[in-house]
Amino acid sequence: MNSLLSKINITISDALDEQSLRVENISFSLPFFKGMFTSPPRNYDYPLVNKYYHLSRSIGNNLLSLTNGEPFLKQINYGKGNIYIVASPLQREFTSLVQHQLFVPILLQMAFSSTQAMDLYYFTNQSAGIPLPINIKANGDVLENNKSINLIDPINNTSYIPYITQGERAMIFFNNAIQRAGNYNLTIGDEKIPIAFNYPRNESRPIYWTQNELDSLTRNSTNITIGNYPITYGGSSIAVNSRKLPIWIIFIIFTIALLIAEIILLRLWKNRI
């Protein structure tokens, strides 16, 4: 195992530490845990660790750490993927992680983080780059293997050729070329990827004009008139009847009237008998 890990510059100590500890720290700020927790848990019952190996602290991200600060679960970027290393075997005699409620979400997150998913939508005036959902090398607008990349508008039957930059992950830029909100198809060679654009949310930021600005805007208009009509409030304009009888009193009066009528009817009926 060490010979395999040494090829990717990962070292694990040969000595097994039998000090019983507990997982105490979860690195919530790392992208790995994005969407896993609504808020950091308090008074959380973390997994126990009875035996573990010492992992290097300087390489990769420490996802889970022990009470003594030693890394327990590490995420190491390697090539186009990630390597995850646990400081102990997953048998019950070593750790209770497998029986803990953290185990399944962590496994799912490992699977999700291995895929390069796109956002649900982007904005039409977005100036920031959009990461490509696949690993592909690019330089300017030229892709490896001479693949072509286009954004197809199925409504208007038009296409856009984005600019591409290559860093840790290839990014595409449309430079405000997208004007219509809706669904598009991003084609990379023979592969078709759906992508959606929405209009910016500027409607929640209202802009107000002063009277002078309105006058200047409508000065040359023949069908718009801006008038100054004062609003007066008072007894003559608004009549408020504050003496309305509450409805519960009406029901009480009606009930009492029915009881009186019932008593009278019973007495009359008794006199006839």
Express each pLDDT in 138-159 by its tens digit: 555 555 555 678 888 888 888 8
Q: What is the pLDDT of residue 241?
A: 46
Q: What is the mean pLDDT of residues 3-15?
A: 72
Q: What is the mean pLDDT of residues 53-63?
A: 83
Q: Looking at the domain assignment, is residue 245 inside a domain?
A: no
Going by pLDDT thresholds of 50, 70 and 90, the confidence category of residue 260 is: very high
Q: Looking at the domain assignment, is residue 225 inside a domain?
A: no
Q: What is the mean pLDDT of residues 13-35?
A: 83
Token pair recorded at residue 259: 């009881």
Cα atoms found within 13 Å of the Cα of residue 127, Cβ hemisphere only:
0
Q: Are residues 129 and 54 in the same domain?
A: no
pTM, rounded to two decimals: 0.47
Q: Are residues 17 and 98 in the same domain?
A: yes
Indicate which CATH number applies to the domain containing 145.
2.60.40
Q: Are 142 and 163 in contact (CB under 8 A)?
A: no
Q: Looking at the domain assignment, is residue 60 inside a domain?
A: yes
Q: Looking at the domain assignment, is residue 109 inside a domain?
A: yes
Q: Are residues 17 and 93 in the same domain?
A: yes
Does 173 have pLDDT greater than 60? Answer: yes
Q: Looking at the domain assignment, is residue 261 inside a domain?
A: no
Indicate which CATH number applies to the domain containing 43.
3.40.50.880
Q: Are residues 136 and 67 in the same domain?
A: no
**Range of the structural domain that residue 175 is part of:** 122-198
Q: Are residues 89 and 135 in the same domain?
A: no
Q: Looking at the domain assignment, is residue 162 inside a domain?
A: yes
**Among candidate residues 79, 113, 147, the one where a domain is terminated:** 113
Q: Which residue has the higher pLDDT, 198 or 32?
A: 198
Q: Looking at the domain assignment, is residue 58 inside a domain?
A: yes
Q: How many CB atoms lie within 10 A of CB 270?
A: 8
Q: What is the mean pLDDT of residues 112-121?
A: 71
Q: Are 80 and 135 in contact (CB under 8 A)?
A: yes
Using one digit for the tens of pLDDT, what is the confidence trace for 67-104?
998 999 988 877 667 888 888 999 999 999 998 888 89
Does 50 have pLDDT greater than 90? Answer: yes
Q: Are residues 15 and 107 in the same domain?
A: yes
Three-class SS state of 155:
coil
Three-class SS state of 187:
strand
Burial label, 21 (beta-carbon count in 10 A; 0-12, 13-18, 19+): buried
Going by pLDDT thresholds of 50, 70 and 90, the confidence category of residue 205 is: low
Q: Are residues 46 and 21 in the same domain?
A: yes
**Among candidate residues 183, 198, 213, the one where a domain is terminated:** 198
Q: Are residues 71 and 10 in the same domain?
A: yes
Q: What is the mean pLDDT of residues 56-72?
A: 86
**Among candidate residues 48, 80, 113, the one where a domain is terminated:** 113
Dihedrals phi, psi of 226, to nearest 5 degrees:
-110, 120
Q: Are 150 and 184 in contact (CB under 8 A)?
A: no
Q: Are residues 87 and 181 in the same domain?
A: no
Does 237 have pLDDT greater than 50? Answer: no
Going by pLDDT thresholds of 50, 70 and 90, the confidence category of residue 200 is: confident
Using one digit for the tens of pLDDT, what is the confidence trace for 177-199?
888 889 999 888 788 888 899 98
Domain count along the chain: 2
Q: What is the mean pLDDT of residues 240-259?
A: 77
Q: What is the mean pLDDT of the chain?
A: 78
Q: Looking at the domain assignment, is residue 268 inside a domain?
A: no
